[in-house]
Amino acid sequence: MIIVIDGPAGAGKSTTAKEVARRTESDYVDSGAVYRGFTYLFMINDFDKSRLTEALKNHDLHFDFHIDNVRVTHGDKDITQTIRSAEINNRVSEVAAMPEVRDEVRRILREISGDRKRGVVLEGRDLGTVVFPDADYKFFLTAAPEARARRRFDEQTRAGADTSLEQVRENVEKRDRIDSTRDIDPLKKADDAVEIDSTYLTFEEQVARITDFVRSMRTENN
């Protein structure tokens, strides 16, 4: 069973996807972390596009996804924290707009998900439209821009980041703009995805919308 949850930054995808994975006894995959890993590769190549193309051929990035522990490594180096830095936040959408990066990430995501013995819940931007067009369940999670900026700000300050609400809002808006207007695989709701606006929902309600829907469809199909 493949459940995909797409949507813009700060809509609550990560926390929701993890909880849905727990409740449906599935694995969890954060596709944004994979794009962030490739942004790290770009960063250590001085943000030089011609070098990135070469680096993509033999990259040594590894992604290990567990609900309570996402680990990203480059060779022997643990870059799990680094990929959440302000510098990566600022450049990730640019890297995610490169066709050769998207091809490689799509291949990795399909490989990781194909290997699983259990169901898998994935979160991202283009999973329902491009990576897994035949996913069993597709959700599109949104929230008002102000609510999304506020959530990301709370999340980052809790993690110890030194930032302001204004800075976070600017980054979220910039990423949304690039992600939704890029030529390839833009952030977009799949026609057959269930849209959930989480602006006024509690976390519990948000998760229940998804798990109740999955449960009701499974009962109906049995």
Instruction: Please select the residue that binds ligand C5P; options are 175, 198, 206, 207, rule is CB under 6 A.
Output: 175
The alpha carbon dihedral of 177, 181, 186, 188 has a sign of positive
What is the nearest approach in angstroms of ligand C5P to the Cβ of residue 83?
8
Q: Select from 17, 18, 103, 29 the least CA-distant residue to 63.
A: 29
Token pair recorded at residue 65: 């996804």
Q: Is residue 128 within the footprint of ligand C5P (CB under 6 A)?
A: no
Q: How far is the CB of 173 from ligand C5P (least distance, A)?
A: 11
Residues whose CB is less than 8 angstroms from the CB of residue 118 and which lie 6 or more positions away in sequence, other chains included: 25, 26, 27
Annotation-wise, does 9 bind a ligand?
Answer: yes
Among 96, 141, 196, 207, binds ligand C5P (CB under 6 A): 96
Q: Least Å distance between CB 31 and ligand C5P?
A: 4
- Judged by CB under 6 A, the number of residues near ligand C5P is 14
Residue with tokens 């690039």: 178
- 92 belongs to the binding site for ligand C5P (CB under 6 A): yes
Amino acid at 72: V
Extended beta strands in 125-222, E state: 137-142, 194-197
Q: Does 37 bind ligand C5P (CB under 6 A)?
A: no
Q: Phi and psi of 195, rounded to 5°?
A: -90, 135
Whether 7 has a binding-site annotation, put simply, is: yes
- Helix or strand (DSSP H, E) at 11: none
11 annotated as a binding-site residue: yes
Q: How far is the CB of 95 from ligand C5P (least distance, A)?
A: 8
Distance, CA of 174 to CA of 169 (rounded, Å) = 8
Asked if 32 is part of the footprint of ligand C5P (rule: CB under 6 A), the reply reads yes
Residue 169 found at the interface with ligand C5P (CB under 6 A): no
Q: Site for ligand C5P (CB under 6 A): which residue of 43, 79, 127, 190?
A: 127
Among 63, 126, 129, 143, binds ligand C5P (CB under 6 A): 126
DSSP 83: G
- Per CB under 6 A, which region of 18-26, 31-39, 43-51, 143-151 contacts ligand C5P? 31-39
**Residue 146 token pair:** 């102000």
Strand-strand pairing, 120-124 and 77-78:
unpaired
Shortest Å distance, C-beta 86 to ligand C5P = 13
Question: Residue 125 interacts with ligand C5P (CB under 6 A)?
Answer: yes
Report the alpha-carbon distance of residue 220 to residue 174 in Å, rounded. Answer: 41
Q: Which residue numbers belong to the known binding site for ATP?
A: 7-15
